[in-house]
Amino acid sequence: MVLVGLIAGAIGGFAASFITGTPSIAQQSDEVIRAQQFQLIDAQGRTRASLGFSADAQPYLQLSDENDTRGVWIGIARETGVSVRDADGRTLLILSVDERGNPSLVVSDRDRNTRAFQPER
């Protein structure tokens, strides 16, 4: 009896999708979600991650902690790169590639002592 029900259901689903031209749920492919910005919010309604476009219309991903400190930023700008900030919002690390494709790494400590590293050109 169960087998008959399963077969009848499969035939009915196939017939319905054939008649209406709409694929059954099992046959549907993943949909593409399109937007100009996505925000991930926590249980308190605070934005913790953003995926969107900068004022220069370039894509970026930004991650923030529960105090809205922007901890990680990855994006494309005049220089493509990644920056990492501490809990006070100070940028401590920047890894970037300039317009010519030259990479650089800038590291700062909490006292704002900064060192830049660039490969020999």
Q: Among 65-69, 79-83, 100-104, 109-113, whose mean pLDDT is lowest?
A: 79-83
Domains and their CATH numbers in the chain: 35-121 (3.90.930.1)
Express as a percent the part of the chain with pLDDT over 90: 22
Euclidean distance between CA atoms 63 and 18, whole angstroms: 46
Which neighbouring-strand residues pair with 51?
A: 38, 61
Q: Which one is predicted more confidently, 27 or 50?
A: 50
Are 75 and 85 in contact, with CB atoms under 8 Å apart?
A: no
For residue 120, give both structure tokens.
């020999």
Question: How many residues are given for the chain?
Answer: 121
Are 16 and 28 in contact, with CB atoms under 8 Å apart?
A: no
Whole-number pLDDT of residue 114: 92
**pLDDT above 50 for 2:** no
Does the model's pTM come out above 0.75? no
CA dihedral 113, 115, 116, 121 (to 10 degrees): 150
Q: Which one is predicted more confidently, 7 or 77?
A: 77
Binned at pLDDT 50, 70 and 90, residue 78 comes out as low
Residues 6+ apart with CB under 8 A from 107: 92, 93, 114, 115, 116, 117
Task: Write out pLDDT tens, residues 37-49.
Answer: 999 999 999 999 9
Q: What is the mean pLDDT of residues 102-108?
A: 91
